[in-house]
Structure 1
């Protein structure tokens, strides 16, 4: 079995929790992993109970396994189980999958919101990965989950915007106009962008969309706006939260290259810039 390793070392698991988790894995035997609230406790989520306080341990196995739940162990099945992360020598489901399995058994809106928000603000994963798993588990029909997802996406956008500000500052890019709307003089609204350099006609747009049931419509609207701006001679640089987190230097180079290439392009159409 291939295991991924968390980026940062975690403190040792208390023995009482460790023994119970080991017992759950031994019960499920091969190709099994801890998931749900138990997994989030292993990731040291503040919003999850500590390992020793987990009443029932969720264990993720392949759908074809013949295994029954017990009083202390809940068997969760997957058509294609993900690659586990190894924590304290235990196989653990990745955070997005563990969150979905935890949320499926929770009715407390406050707990669900705190878990989802901590996943993003704590740097465990991107909002899109969480929403994909919630959608796969058909949890986006539950009102308290939808409300929590809205908070999650707002948190994810705020973090991505902070990273964009940091990129401009740390890599000494020219100061743009932040969070503006673009409009043709006396004409239609062209849409909002997260950063705009009017002298070079370069815009940056953060793609913080998440795959939800209306994703196709959102993607169509986003593509239409981008194509319209580019027909007017405005270069649109598309950045995702993950790219900013994992390769900020490369994204800064992309933006710098677009700014430097402005002199080689035909002049862009004049647009009115308004605060958003």
Structure 2
């Protein structure tokens, strides 16, 4: 699982014939080994890698422990994660063990069946997301983790809801973060847009729906779509949509909207928070504009 120096339990070293006094001496300051956690030794004196810390945490927590939280999500390829050196592990509720050093030990009666990711018993994505979210104070990062897990098809939004519901302590903060994701939002900006739409009094919007013209040709996949009047809302960041191929793709998308007769409102993500009332006025005005002309012959699919 790791490269370079091995991570070994003290008991295992003793089984291999290394006297305990030799282990302690080699783990002294400036020694050739390092004691990473109580009873867990790195057979080297350099800084432990992330993999060393994970392996040491699981050895410390003993057999049956499961990696969860941000480092578990990292093993699934998720990127929008809190920056933390902690290793979060789950152990059976009856196990007498507590957090120490870089390992955060959580006793649970709902120990998940782990998946093996690069040799490590790892919590399924929904559990790991909620475990990470519970320890993340930044609400935007909580939404981002949930959205990325869903967008990359690691889980359905309902699986995240089940994880929240099955916890013994109600957490309204996580439910509030999840509501836009259940509604179809795929990012923090889309969650902000979803929350603004809820305030707008406008008819139902669908999020990230694919729109096709009368001939069945793909038009676009708007962030928000009001099928009642054929109105699209795009949350377009300046940095992403103004450069190179992204700029050309945005121009081509807008041309397809025009050719299909679709009214589209483009909004910078930053304005959803800095000027929410102005954005609401623009959203309602664009909707009324779409409402005044005949609905274009387009459909979602």
Q: TM-score, normalised by structure 1?
A: 0.49
Q: Which has the larger radius of gyration?
A: 2
Q: TM-score, normalised by structure 2?
A: 0.45
Higher relative contact order structure (alpha carbons within 8 Å, sequence separation ≥ 6): 1
